[in-house]
């Protein structure tokens, strides 16, 4: 029993260990921010590598907690993401007075996500959603002297509270309709009656809030703009990744019998989300708001893959999230470095960036191409597989709309590329001296963006896990 | 021979360029890389002929297949037939000429050559892939280098032109993507493999839906009317080598795709829409020719005439006869060489006179005999003088078109033929005003072509004349492959 417990929950235990270590260091003797950050980076790297060992599948606590190879891999993606965040934003983190607190909050949220991905029961699901959300709201307020940051935090708390309420209502309806909250037992009891559909709609609405699916996306841009960039990147990459993973489980496992019902809904929402996200992204001037809306559009593509309800759907969505971690974090990393060094966050300030900062410019260009889905970057493969998975149901009208959306998104990604590479500026952003960990983070992201697509065994590995 | 070399060589060149420090090193490594490509393409050509002479009648030669994303039934499947070999030769000719012509690019030399080489990588990959997924992959790889080449090194409304080009080509790619997915899921087997798809039954309804998607998608690349609007802006704003690559290679990707993917895989769809294609390409031919008459800028003249000339490619495809299809491929090769040379000459003239306006030039033959001679050769090729490649290709297309006996095809052929008169008018007027007539005083001190420019021009002229006076080698290369496509269309 103890053995099982240790093995199956090893990811959570490792994370909790790091969390408490940081806490002890915080209350213990004085330690400089640089050394503490270096230690944390090392621990997070260790945590990521550790994620690939001792992978077991099984469940604990009467099915409340389940894990298997795919779930372990999903957790590894998240571990990789937080390791990259600790690298990319090291400049900002070092200067922060509350470095330990930041990581305590971040790691608690990640712990919540780990439990969320592993949850096998609606109660566990609800609790871990809360654990994954509340610390992030506190993190959103981390630029303590900025009013806009508190505003972001407040908006996030309010919208999370609303979505939690909706979620709880949905859970109670499901319990009322089926008499159980266990993921294993619900599918057999679903017959698609009105109450169950209503319950599903409420449950899905909660997901839609968290994933900022249109029309539940309105909180996203303000929160992203107000939060420090490190937190924005965490929100838009890691949080969304975790929620996407559990959405996959929920739709494919729990609500599989109602597939015919949710297919149309997901497909429609996918296309609306893409179109609205893209159209709003067109006119953004602030890079954070811009990335917020572009990430809404990306969620649209994820939903397209999910709608296929097949093994290809699972593997292409997990694959896309992996690629998304690299591409979006690289973009946020560059935005963070520029914002930290020059205090500029507007796209027009990026004009002429290539003249002064070639490395950053190439990383930014690569990440934007990957987000736009241009080969040879990984984003091309990720998006193509999502679309292919979505097309397997033969709904070509929506597929065409999705493909045409790639043109709109290319337009606004190219807007930044042309500002960076083509425009001239009398006062370009001066040469930025990146510290070593930021540079390392950018190189890892760049390498990931190029290699993950071309090396097809990464996808094969995910496929092997999905079956 | 191993076809992966055609991909690995540009990749290696790109890496070497990245490692170089000074501009001179970059140029020489690019030139060595391009020459190696050229030699490799010639080796491929002779190896291909040898295999065929030995009686190897397989549809595709030098086939290779590596595993790549097996769960989607995708494989890295390469192979060439005569059409691909012809296109690879064309690419190699244009690449080496493009590298030579850009010898005095001073602004961000390393990035410039890197993008040129990446563009050639995309083209080679596209022409040798036998799997539609990697074909699409290589098609899209080339979009970003084009965008950056125009946007950074271009002139005039460069950002507008770069955006327009990237978005329109991306739009074309999006249609291609949907069409490919239709093929993947529509047939009896989920596969992207070209040879496999050509053997299985694709339902007629799928063909009727997917053919226009694929044809229009690829057609955007090759200036299918009314999706040709990126051509004049893109070409005129691009730097010299950029225009050469765009018109010489990139537009041919579309023509090749229309033929190899759309028409070959979906003969029923092709028959359904053939008349529409003929009408659109006849419009493109005539409209392009008349629009050229109104242009004053040399680059615009060549860009609009490219619309007209590429119309012959699609006309040949739409005619659905063996000769016309072979003619379409020959027109692609011929136009690629000719238009690359034309843009190279315009670049040379512009670099010296700092104007591309025909009215402001005159009498240049006195100061620049070499350059103006090249201009004459390329102009005469463009208007279809016998002995040069343009005549051979267009004649083949016309002969193939005339094989269709009904009035509709005859009228379309005659209409297309009439464009040759218009072509003669604008070409002769442009060349005459540029080269002959009274000379402007300020052009007295201009220098003639340098070694690199001479070499580039001679390489391309050799190609043009080789096709012009000995068309049989190209014809022998292309016709058997066109025959296979025709047999599939005829349902044998």
Give the residue from B342, B165, B341, B351 showing the smallest Cα distance to B254.
Answer: B165
Residues of A in Cβ contact (< 8 Å) with B148:
417, 421
User: Quick one: pLDDT at residue A317?
Assistant: 93
Q: Which structural domain, as residue segments, surrounds residue A172?
A: 2-466
Cα(B7)–Cα(A461) distance, integer angstroms: 26
Q: Cβ of A418 under 8 Å from any chain B Cβ?
A: yes
Q: What's the whole-number average pLDDT of chain A?
A: 89
Residue among A316, A396, A415, A421 with most chain B CBs within 10 A, to mutate: A396
Residues of A in Cβ contact (< 8 Å) with B72:
312, 385, 388
As given in the structure block, the two tokens for residue B97 are: 């000429």
Residue of A nearest to B173 (CA): A403
Q: Cβ of A187 under 8 Å from any chain B Cβ?
A: no
Task: Kindly give, in sequence order, each residue whose CB lies less than 8 Å from that of residue A246, ignoring residues fewer than 6 positions away.
Answer: A116, A117, A119, A125
pLDDT tens digits for B80-115?
988 999 999 999 999 999 999 888 888 888 889 999
Residue of B nearest to A466 (CA): B71
As given in the structure block, the two tokens for residue B436 are: 């002959």
Task: Kindly give, in sequence order, each residue whose CB lies less than 8 Å from that of residue A443, ignoring residues fewer than 6 positions away.
Answer: none
User: Any idea which residue has 């490919």 for tokens?
Assistant: B180
> Per the structure, how many domains does chain A have?
1
The verdict on a CB contact (< 8 Å) between A421 and B148 is yes
Q: How far is B152 from chain A (nearest CA, A)?
A: 5
Residue A104: CA count within 13 A, CB half-sphere: 14
Residue of A nearest to B138 (CA): A375
The answer to whether B361 and B349 have CB atoms below 8 angstroms apart is yes
Cα(B219)–Cα(B327) distance, integer angstroms: 17
Cα(A304)–Cα(A186) distance, integer angstroms: 25
Residue among A367, A372, A374 with most chain B CBs within 10 A, to mutate: A374
Cα(B135)–Cα(A385) distance, integer angstroms: 15
Residue of B nearest to A400 (CA): B178
Beta-carbon contacts below 8 Å between A and B? 83
- B71 vs A369, A407, A463: nearest CB: A463
Judged against a pLDDT cut of 90, whether residue A114 lies above it is answered with: yes
Please state, in angstroms and as integers, the Cα–Cα distance from residue A133 to each residue in A225, A229, A238, B108, B454, following that order.
18, 17, 12, 47, 68
Task: Kindly give, in sequence order, each residue whose CB lies less than 8 Å from that of residue B53, ignoring residues fewer than 6 positions away.
Answer: none
- Mind spelling out the 3-state secondary structure of A88-105? HCHHHHHHCCCHHHHHHH
As given in the structure block, the two tokens for residue B478 are: 């292309």
Q: Cβ of A410 under 8 Å from any chain B Cβ?
A: yes
Flag whether the ipTM exceeds 0.85: yes
Residues of A in Cβ contact (< 8 Å) with B163:
411, 414, 418
Phi/psi at B123 (nearest 5 deg)?
A: -65, -45
Residues of B in Cβ contact (< 8 Å) with A463:
71
Give the residue from A236, A298, A294 showing the smallest Cα distance to A416.
Answer: A294
Residue of A nearest to B165 (CA): A411
User: Any idea which residue has 């999502």 for tokens?
Assistant: A386
Would you give per-residue pLDDT tens digits along chain B (492 residues)? 788 888 999 999 999 988 888 888 888 999 999 999 999 999 999 999 888 888 888 888 888 888 888 888 888 999 998 899 999 999 999 999 999 988 888 888 888 999 999 999 999 999 999 999 999 999 998 888 899 999 888 888 888 889 899 999 999 999 999 999 988 888 778 888 888 888 888 888 888 888 999 999 999 998 888 888 888 888 888 888 888 998 889 889 999 999 999 899 888 888 889 899 999 999 999 999 999 988 888 889 988 999 999 899 999 999 888 899 999 999 999 999 999 999 999 988 888 888 888 888 877 888 888 888 998 999 998 888 888 888 889 889 999 999 888 889 899 899 888 888 889 889 888 888 888 877 777 777 778 878 888 899 999 999 999 988 888 888 888 888 888 888 888 875
């Amino acid at each position: 029993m103890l053995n099982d417990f240790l093995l199956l929950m090893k990811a959570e235990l490792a994370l909790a260990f790091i969390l408490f270590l940081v806490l002890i260091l915080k209350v213990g003797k004085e330690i400089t921010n640089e050394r503490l950050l270096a230690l944390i980076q090392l621990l997070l790297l260790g945590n990521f590598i550790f994620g690939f060992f001792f992978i077991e599948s099984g469940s604990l606590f009467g099915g409340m907690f389940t894990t298997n190879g795919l779930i372990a891999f999903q957790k590894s993606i998240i571990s990789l993401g937080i390791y990259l965040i600790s690298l990319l934003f090291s400049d900002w983190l070092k200067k922060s007075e509350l470095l330990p607190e930041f990581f305590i909050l971040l790691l608690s949220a990640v712990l919540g996500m780990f439990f969320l991905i592993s949850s096998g029961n609606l109660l566990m699901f609800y609790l871990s959603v809360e654990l994954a959300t509340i610390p992030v709201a506190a993190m959103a307020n981390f630029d303590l002297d900025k009013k806009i940051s508190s505003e972001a935090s407040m908006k996030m708390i309010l919208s999370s509270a609303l979505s939690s309420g909706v979620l709880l209502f949905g859970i109670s309806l499901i319990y009322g309709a089926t008499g159980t909250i266990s993921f294993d037992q619900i599918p057999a009891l679903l017959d698609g009656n009105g109450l169950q559909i209503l319950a599903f709609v409420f449950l899905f609405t909660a997901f839609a809030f968290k994933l900022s699916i249109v029309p539940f996306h309105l909180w996203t841009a303000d929160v992203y703009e107000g939060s420090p960039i490190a937190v924005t990147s965490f929100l838009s990459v890691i949080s969304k990744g975790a929620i996407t993973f559990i959405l996959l489980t929920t739709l494919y496992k729990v609500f599989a019998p109602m597939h015919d019902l949710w297919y149309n809904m997901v497909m429609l929402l996918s296309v609306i989300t893409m179109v609205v996200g893209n159209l709003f992204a067109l006119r953004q001037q602030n890079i954070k708001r811009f990335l917020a809306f572009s990430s809404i559009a990306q969620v649209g593509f994820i939903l397209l893959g999910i709608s296929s309800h097949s093994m290809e759907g699972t593997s292409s969505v997990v694959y896309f999230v992996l690629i998304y971690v690299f591409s979006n974090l690289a973009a946020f990393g560059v935005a963070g470095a520029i914002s930290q060094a020059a205090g500029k966050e507007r796209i027009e300030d990026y004009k002429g960036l290539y003249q002064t900062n070639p490395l950053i410019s190439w990383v930014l260009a690569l990440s934007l191409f990957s987000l736009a889905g241009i080969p040879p970057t990984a984003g091309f493969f990720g998006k193509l597989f999502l679309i292919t998975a979505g097309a397997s149901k033969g709904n070509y009208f929506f597929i065409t709309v999705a493909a045409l959306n790639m043109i709109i998104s290319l337009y606004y990604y190219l807007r930044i590329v042309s500002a960076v590479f083509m425009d001239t500026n009398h006062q370009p952003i001066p040469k930025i001296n990146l510290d070593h960990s930021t540079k390392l983070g950018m190189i890892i992201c760049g390498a990931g963006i190029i290699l993950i697509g071309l090396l097809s065994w990464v996808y094969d590995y995910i496929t092997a896990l999905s079956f | 021979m191993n076809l992966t070399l055609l991909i690995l060589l540009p990749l290696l060149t790109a890496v070497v360029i990245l490692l170089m420090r000074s501009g001179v090193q970059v140029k020489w490594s690019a030139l060595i890389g391009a020459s190696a490509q050229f030699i490799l393409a010639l080796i491929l050509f002779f190896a291909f002929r040898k295999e065929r002479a030995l009686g190897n009648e397989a549809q595709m030669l030098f086939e290779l297949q590596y595993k790549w994303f097996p769960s989607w039934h995708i494989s890295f499947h390469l192979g060439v037939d005569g059409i691909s070999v012809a296109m690879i030769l064309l690419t190699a000719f244009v690449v080496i000429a493009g590298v030579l012509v850009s010898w005095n690019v001073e602004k961000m030399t390393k990035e410039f050559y890197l993008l040129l080489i990446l563009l050639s990588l995309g083209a080679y990959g596209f022409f040798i892939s036998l799997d539609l997924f990697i074909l699409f992959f290589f098609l899209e790889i080339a979009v970003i280098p084009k965008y950056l080449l125009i946007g950074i090194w271009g002139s005039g409304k460069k950002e507008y032109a770069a955006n327009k080009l990237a978005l329109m080509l991306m739009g074309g790619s999006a249609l291609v993507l949907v069409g490919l997915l239709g093929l993947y899921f529509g047939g009896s087997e989920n596969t992207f493999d070209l040879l496999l798809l050509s053997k299985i039954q694709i339902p007629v309804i799928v063909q009727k839906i997917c053919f226009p998607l694929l044809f229009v998608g690829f057609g955007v690349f090759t200036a299918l009317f009314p999706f040709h609007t990126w051509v004049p802006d893109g070409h005129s704003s691009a730097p010299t080598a950029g225009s050469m690559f765009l018109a010489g290679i990139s537009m041919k990707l579309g023509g090749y795709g229309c033929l190899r993917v759309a028409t070959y895989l979906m003969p029923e769809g092709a028959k359904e829409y053939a008349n529409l294609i003929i009408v659109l390409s006849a419009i493109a031919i005539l409209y392009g020719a008349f629009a050229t008459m109104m242009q004053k800028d040399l680059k615009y003249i060549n860009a609009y005439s490219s619309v007209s000339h590429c119309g012959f490619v699609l006309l040949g495809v739409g005619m659905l006869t063996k000769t016309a299809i072979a003619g379409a491929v020959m027109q692609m090769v011929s136009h690629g060489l000719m238009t690359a040379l034309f843009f190279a000459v315009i670049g040379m003239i512009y670099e010296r006179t700092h104007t591309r306006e025909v009215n402001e030039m005159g009498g240049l033959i006195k100061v620049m005999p070499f350059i103006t001679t090249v201009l004459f050769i390329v102009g005469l090729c463009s208007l279809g003088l016998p002995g040069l490649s343009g005549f051979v290709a267009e004649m083949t297309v016309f002969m193939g078109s005339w094989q269709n006996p009904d009035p509709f095809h005859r009228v379309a052929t005659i209409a297309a033929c009439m464009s040759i008169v218009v072509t003669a008018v604008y070409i002769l007027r442009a060349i005459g005003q540029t080269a002959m007539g009274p000379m402007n005083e300020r052009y007295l001190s201009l220098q003639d072509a340098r070694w690199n420019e001479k070499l580039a021009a001679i390489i391309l002229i050799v190609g043009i004349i080789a096709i012009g006076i000995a068309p049989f080698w190209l014809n022998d290369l292309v016709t058997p492959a066109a025959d296979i496509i025709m047999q599939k269309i005829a349902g044998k």
